[in-house]
Amino acid sequence: MDDVELSEGDALRRMYRITAEQERSFESKLPDLLDLGCVYLGVETGFLTEIDDDTQHIVAASGDHELLQPGRSCPLSKAYCRKTVDVDGALTVQHARVEGWEDDAAYEEFGLETYIGAKVVVNREVYGTFCFADAEARDRPFSEDEETFVELMAQWVSYEIFQKQATERIQQQRDQLEEFTRVVSHDIRNPLGIVDGYLDMAERTGDPEHFQRCRDAIDRMESLIDDLLFLTREGQTIGGREEIRIDELARECWSFVNAADATLEVDTDRVVLGDWSRLQQVFENLFRNALEHGGEEVTIRVGDLDDGDGVYVEDDGAGIPEDERDQVFVDGFTTGESGTGLGLTIIQQVVSAHGWEVSVTESDAGGARFEIRGMEPVEE
């Protein structure tokens, strides 16, 4: 290893100059910080990790170690960082073989003799680690100043990631608000215009049919408002999970749908953990979507996917054109005259809140087929 070329004061000053450059992005500063840490600590490699589902992902790196490059990953059980996340402050290793790492899975995987790392915490949860390492042993233990240096870097990374995520959430909320504003201004203005026009006609002619047209327009506005409230208040969260039989849920939802001439066929005995009231929104909206686009005599089927990863809801109606399928979950998208255009958005948000995924394709009969994946069954 190279000798340390920077004093603690020089390293801290350089770190401050890098982190204080407001015009630079977090991503552009990371390589400079990793390079600085390698020089100050006298090691060959520096890296930032993200830990997700017991897997370590390399987000950014400095150095030539083949396994410690951006995009590489490994089970956390084979990483030095698995011990870093369990300690306060920095974890240090001066000479891995001497310190009992020789038979460790991390040592066998990476062959690092020297290691120092601190955990990165975002919103009180471990995001990952900020680390420096070398394949050669270190001739002296890491000093308290060096440990503090790595801890400061990890804290700065924690703050920057928190700010980045917060900014993204704010932008997402702003985009949603703009989209809701567009939907409200367009879709509520239209039925209001209908009410105004038919009221004028009713005053002139006294024909009661014009009042019914007004009531239909008001019903549509109420549906739109209900959907908007669900999306803004409840759509992205779920309450307590309970065991739910999909067949029972589907049939109960069907009983709430006005479909005297339509047919529901259910062929599943899947039991999942979920929020009953939220999943009601999913199936009722899927059924109403099929009725709106498939006609009053449409046949709707609910069953298990062939690969066992979830369930499908399909119909024998007109289907959704292939060039429109990527847009069906966008707020306000609708090809019907009576829908609010928010039902499919509600479906996606509720499914996502459960940790599942929903997609749309074509049924064997040429109608629409919605597939919900990731619904791990409960063993009975």
CATH number, domain with residue 267: 3.30.565.10
Q: Given a cut of 60, is residue 187 above it in pLDDT?
A: no
Does a structural domain hold residue 179? no
Report residue 64's pLDDT band, with 50, 70 and 90 as the boundaries: very high
Residue range of the domain that includes 247 = 238-380
Q: Given a cut of 90, is residue 255 above it in pLDDT?
A: no
Domain stop point among 117, 138, 167: 167
Instruction: Give the range among 76-85, 134-143, 271-280, 330-339 with minimum mean pLDDT.
Output: 330-339
Q: What is the mean pLDDT of residues 58-70?
A: 95
Same domain, 263 and 116: no
Total domains in the chain come to 2
Q: What is the pLDDT of residue 180?
A: 65
Does a structural domain hold residue 360? yes
Same domain, 158 and 247: no
The pTM of this model reads 0.56
Q: Given a cut of 50, is residue 338 above it in pLDDT?
A: no
Does a structural domain hold residue 290? yes
Does a structural domain hold residue 247? yes
Q: What is the pLDDT of residue 332?
A: 45
Does a structural domain hold residue 211? no
Does a structural domain hold residue 206? no
Q: What is the pLDDT of residue 186?
A: 56
Same domain, 160 and 244: no
Return the HEC string of the chain. CCCCCCCHHHHHHHHHHHHCCCCCCHHHHHHHHHHHHHHHHCCCEEEEEEEECCEEEEEEEECCCCCCCCCCEEEHHHCCHHHHCCCCCEEEECCCCCCCCCCCHHHHHHCCCEEEEEEEEECCEEEEEEEEEECCCCCCCCCHHHHHHHHHHHHHHHHHHHHHHHHHHHHHHHHHHHHHHHHHHHHCHHHHHHHHHHHHHHHHHCCHHHHHHHHHHHHHHHHHHHHHHHHHHCCCCCCCCEEEEHHHHHHHHHHCCCCCCCEEEEECCCEEEECHHHHHHHHHHHHHHHHHHHCCCCEEEEEECCCCCEEEEEECCCCCCHHHHHHCCCCCCCCCCCCCCCHHHHHHHHHHHCCCEEEEEECCCCCEEEEEECCCCCCC
Same domain, 114 and 31: yes
Q: Given a cut of 60, is residue 340 above it in pLDDT?
A: no
Report residue 172's pLDDT band, with 50, 70 and 90 as the boundaries: confident
Does a structural domain hold residue 12? yes
Q: Given a cut of 50, is residue 227 above it in pLDDT?
A: yes
Domain stop point among 112, 133, 167: 167
Same domain, 130 and 272: no
Does a structural domain hold residue 224? no
Task: Express each pLDDT in 348-368 by its tens digit.
Answer: 888 988 899 999 999 999 899
Domain stop point among 139, 167, 195: 167
Q: What is the pLDDT of residue 22?
A: 86
Same domain, 20 and 129: yes
Same domain, 288 and 372: yes
Same domain, 41 and 158: yes
